[in-house]
Amino acid sequence: MRGIAVVNMKGGVGKTTTAVQLAAGFVARGHRVLLVDADPQGNVGHLLGMSAPHTIKELLLGTATASEVIRRDDRRPGLGVILATPAAFALETQLASTMQRETLLSRRLSGVTGFDLIVFDSSPAMNLLTYNVLLCATELVLPVGMDTMALAGARQTLNGVNEIRSLWPDRRLALTAVVPTAVSANTHASKATLQALAADAEMAGALFAHGIRQCIDLTYAAAAHQTIWEYAPASRAAEDYDALLDHLEGQRAGESRHGKEENAPRVQPSLH
Ligand SMILES: Nc1ncnc2c1ncn2[C@@H]1O[C@H](COP(=O)(O)OP(=O)(O)OP(=O)(O)O)[C@@H](O)[C@H]1O
Ligand SMILES: [Mg+2]
């Protein structure tokens, strides 16, 4: 199954925002989506206004099955969610002596049916949960905030991903979108970061040049426990995430046409 991991070791770059809008956006396009929160901060639950008795922690510990931890919300048919809470911070030590603990999530989700794709939100860290996400996903979406530190975080993340690729060479893990977030076209920081992304040999090939513009509606939507499609479907954030969905659907179309994700068509850069 297609699995999209939204990752960046840098905090606050728009991972959760992107994971949630992508999951809900794919649902709006007719896909059945499982959204997995692999960050003990539990921000997916905060954003969507959901809670659950069983979370990713019980799934990884083996004290609950996948069907027991997948939550549904009548307001959002087509979307299943596995939540996280701060209790998952303890997993690192609880699983310390478990064999092959990096592939637990992949094994626990292997029998799950009824979804067309999985979207993973992750922590701002290369920790056990993030490794589990990377070993479960088939592709990466890398949100990058408009500053030097976000760029450094993106580079460190890709170094970690390359390490995973060399340790588990059989795993498919394509970088399908590097997503500039909170872009403010007129600022020096945005221009410099976009230029640096375009100049990076690894990131430039997957650059979603359209970017996600700075848009306060994303913050208001989160405060209202709504997706951008529910809260402000005519906002520029909705427009930009719609373009990102096109980009990701194009990747899939490109993959089936050419057999390689690298050959997928890219959306044209737009000026804003
Ligand atoms: N395009 C945007 N324009 C304006 N604000 C944004 C944008 N994207 C995200 N934000 C805001 O930035 C803040 C951080 O976003 P988010 O929580 O998605 O980041 P994160 O990478 O998941 O953080 P963490 O690393 O802590 O998990 C939130 O308040 C969110 O509403
Ligand atoms: Mg987050």
Residue 8 Cα: closest atom of ligand 1: 21
Average pLDDT for consecutive 10-residue bins of the chain (272 residues)? Answer: 96 98 98 98 98 96 97 95 97 94 96 96 96 97 95 94 93 94 94 95 95 98 98 98 96 52 32 31
Q: The pTM is what?
A: 0.93
Whole-number pLDDT of residue 264: 30
Whole-number pLDDT of residue 185: 87
Residue 122 Cα: closest atom of ligand 1: 27
Query: What is the DSSP secondary structure assignment for residue 56, as one 8-state letter?
Result: H
Number of Cβ within a 10 Å radius of residue 253:
12
Distance CA 156, CA 149 (A): 10
How many Å lie between the centroid of ligand 2 and the Cα of residue 184?
21
pLDDT digit string, tens, across residues 31-67: 999 999 999 999 999 999 999 999 999 999 999 999 9
Helix, strand, or coil (residue 188)? helix
Whole-number pLDDT of residue 252: 63
Contact 34, 149 (CB under 8 A): no
Q: Ligand 1 test: best mutation among 16, 20, 47, 122, most atoms within 8 Å of CB?
A: 16
pLDDT digit string, tens, across residues 235-245: 999 999 999 99
* Protein fold of 2-92+101-259: Rossmann fold (3.40.50)
Whole-number pLDDT of residue 255: 57
55 to each of 80, 131, 196, 236, 251, how far by Cα in Å? Answer: 12, 18, 38, 33, 31
> Which token pair is 2?
């297609």
Residue 222 Cα: closest atom of ligand 1: 31
Whole-number pLDDT of residue 172: 80
Q: Which residues line ligand 1 (CB under 6 A)?
A: 11-17, 39, 41, 43, 124, 181-182, 212, 214-216, 218-219, 222, 237
266 to each of 5, 46, 246, how far by Cα in Å? Answer: 19, 33, 9
